Amino acid sequence: VCFIPGGLDCSISFVSHVLGKVCVHGRQKEILSVLVPHLTDITKSDCIWQRICWRLVECVPDRWMEAVVLGFVQRAPGPDTLSRLLGNVVVKNKKAQFVVTQKVLLLQYCHTTAVLQNLLGYLSLDSLRRALLIKVLQELLETWSSSSAVKHSPPEQQQYISKAILICLSHLKEPEIESCRQELLTSMMEGVKCHLDSNLPQIRRLGMIVAESISSKINTDGPVLKFQYEEDDEARELKSLLVQTPPFRVAPSLPDDENETAGAALPLVSESNKKSHTADPVMPDEESDAELDSDDDLIPYDMSEDKELKTKAPVYIRDCIEVLTGSEDVDKWEATVKALESLVRKNPTATREVSMELAKILLHLEEKTSIEGFVVLRQRAQVAVLTTDPIPVAKYLTSQFYSLNYSLCQRVDILDVLVLAAQELSYPKSCGKTKHSDAQKPCIQLLPGSDSSKDWRRIVDERIKIKTRRFATGQSQVELASSPNEFSSVAGYFFFPLIQHFDRPLTTFDLLGEDHFVLGRLVHTLAILMYLAVNTVAVTAMGKALLEFVWALRFHTDSYVRQGLLSCISSVLVSVPAECLLEDMTEELLETQSWLGDVVEKDPDGDCRRLALQSLLLMENLKKKLKTVPS
């Protein structure tokens, strides 16, 4: 397409029509990939061509405006180019304005950061358009701070809006910030609240980053808001949006300055190096002088035992209890906390006598001094106590989960400990362990029943091996030693008490209300316990109870909770044997299947949809498996 240059008065509305029609039919890419670079070049210095370009875009009929404008926004290499190409079409044309300020920012979220940069930069470059920029910011903030938007919109959209807000903030100038300071503050406070309330860490982090950025913009001299969150690539990328890099023409001067300062720095460094070198030779000379005239007739003794003094940890469990409950001696307390887990595991009988007491102490144990890894040490000690004496301690912990006056942290701690202990109990002990213990201990020992049965077999085998002559040995296969599933007898004690009281609110603890974070964790814990209960006796009863529980909570608004519920279903399908599923739980399964179908289609959260699809696939596999088994 070539244009007629010269002083001719020509009408280009025909060209606009063509352009519009082509774009709306989906050929944006082809035509604009040729047109935009061409226009960029010729409009660089030539005003007339700029005006022609603006007329071109303005004359596109409204019904095709969106396609054209969007195409330009996407193709333009930078905001200033876009400004040259589009001019003030957003101000003059209502449809263009709608597309740029509303549609792209609030209704769509598929565009890249570069597109956002282009668009918002374009808005900021002209005084006429800046008013639109502020309006855009206000609308973005309204969406960002609305709690229903935070709860129901997908995380990708929320990220998109956050990016847009950050870019807007980076373009705002001081007087503009001044004028809308109050609004910014109000929306920041509201927005932060609903973001922090969310269960998904990504949403929380987005809220924190945006709030920090807004706070730094409006409080340039006072204390700014500062949150603690994990810094990773995403966070860094978001924060980098807040700073606008200066356009390229400024850049060439900077490297010169940098080189100069770098050059100045280097001689200083080498000077200081030289100085330290001259200082060093002085010392060794003195030393060697002193060495020469010493009468070294005093021979030192062996001092290898001279090490740092360490307080000894107690050796008995009851001593540990004493130290942890009463003792003021901080060193001893620290040593006890570090040694507790191994003591508990080495003395199972002694632990069983005091297991309830230990569990209580550990649940309430607070950090007295700053030990490294206190949380981990405490958790491992709790897990050790729970695995040594599962039934009473599980009863205690599950009852405490629903008691008054515990912090959220402690309740979540209980859930974590139950899961870790269940994992340990359900995992088969590898053969290496038992052989090892046999070899080390002397003859007098209390062996559990299963070990002694293996013992005699081994001895007999050895004897046979020595006495027989082998002509050829077949391929040796390592057989994994089997041991009874210790989780089987206690799975019920872990699982059912947790499900029992979830709908009974207490004064400080309301699972179905405010404490949906704990509810989410509880649901995930139940899913894991269900999964670990495979091959146990109670698994069918557990599965049925769990499906009922899921059914009651299936419309929960929090996406973390829903993810947990869907993993529960997957666990049930995996753990409960197929026959039991079909016999006892047919209605529940059918209802669940229809619900899963619903979730796959309509749930806003991507993870939920994925999990629902997974469960549906598991159900399909189940059906197929049953069909192939001859009945």
Partner 1 sequence: MALPPPDPQFVLRGTGAAVHALHFSCGGQEPDVPVLFSGSENGFVHVWNLKTHRVDTALDGHGGKSVCCVETMGGKTRLLSQGRDQRICLWDLAEGRTSVTDSVFTENVGFCRCSLLEVAAGRWLMAMAAKALEEVQVLELPSKTSVCTLKPAVGAKLGMPMCLKLWQLNCGSQPLLLAGYEDGSVVLWNLSTGKALSQLACHEEPVMSLDFDSEKAKGISGSSEKVLSIWSLNEQQNLQVYKTHKLVNAGISDITIRPDKKILATAGWDHRIRIFGWKKLKPLAVLDYHTATVHCVSFSDHRNPRDRLLAAGSKDHRISIWSIYTQT
The residues that touch partner 1, with contacts defined as CB under 8 A, are 290, 294-309
DSSP secondary structure, 453-477, as one string? HHHHHHHHHHHHHHHPPPS------
CB-based contacts of 482: which residues, under 8 Å, 6+ apart?
Answer: 428
Q: What's the burial of 489, exposed, middle or buried (CB within 10 Å: 0-12/13-18/19+)?
A: middle
Measured from the CB atom, the residue of 307 and 627 that comes closer to partner 1 is: 307
Residue 182 amino acid letter: Q
Shortest separation between residue 361's beta carbon and partner 1, angstroms: 29
Measured from the CB atom, the residue of 308 and 601 that comes closer to partner 1 is: 308
Structure tokens at 357: 């007491």
Q: Could you give phi then psi for residue 510, rounded to 5 degrees?
A: -130, 95
Alpha-helix residue ranges (DSSP H) falling in 293-407: 317-325, 330-346, 348-353, 355-364, 374-388, 390-401
Which of 479, 490, 495, 582 has its CA nearest to residue 536? 490
Shortest separation between residue 374's beta carbon and partner 1, angstroms: 24
Shortest separation between residue 279's beta carbon and partner 1, angstroms: 17
Helix (H, G, I), strand (E, B) or coil at 242: coil
Measured from the CB atom, the residue of 110 and 279 that comes closer to partner 1 is: 279
Name the residue with tokens 């082809």: 30
> Which secondary structure element, helix H or strand E, spans residue 286, and what is its range?
helix 253-292
Measured from the CB atom, the residue of 301 and 555 that comes closer to partner 1 is: 301
Residue 546 amino acid letter: L
Shortest separation between residue 330's beta carbon and partner 1, angstroms: 16
Which of 396, 311, 332 has its CA nearest to residue 361? 396
Shortest separation between residue 79's beta carbon and partner 1, angstroms: 59
* Cα–Cα separations (whole angstroms), residue 551 to 505, 588, 604: 19, 8, 19
Measured from the CB atom, the residue of 280 and 287 that comes closer to partner 1 is: 287
Measured from the CB atom, the residue of 222 and 300 that comes closer to partner 1 is: 300
Task: Tell me the C-alpha distance between 528 and 419, whole Å.
Answer: 7
Measured from the CB atom, the residue of 308 and 372 that comes closer to partner 1 is: 308
* Cβ count within 10 A of residue 481: 16
Measured from the CB atom, the residue of 174 and 305 that comes closer to partner 1 is: 305
Task: Tell me the C-alpha distance between 36 and 191, whole Å.
Answer: 39
Q: Looking at the chain, how many residues does it have?
A: 631
Shortest separation between residue 304's beta carbon and partner 1, angstroms: 8
Shortest separation between residue 332's beta carbon and partner 1, angstroms: 15
Shortest separation between residue 299's beta carbon and partner 1, angstroms: 8
Instruction: Give yes or no for a contact between 398 and 493, defined as CB atoms under 8 angstroms apart.
Output: yes
Shortest separation between residue 331's beta carbon and partner 1, angstroms: 13
CA–chain centroid gap for 270, Å, is 46
Measured from the CB atom, the residue of 313 and 532 that comes closer to partner 1 is: 313
The number of CA neighbours under 13 Å toward the Cβ of 41 is 4
Shortest separation between residue 338's beta carbon and partner 1, angstroms: 19
* Cβ count within 10 A of residue 224: 14
Shortest separation between residue 114's beta carbon and partner 1, angstroms: 57
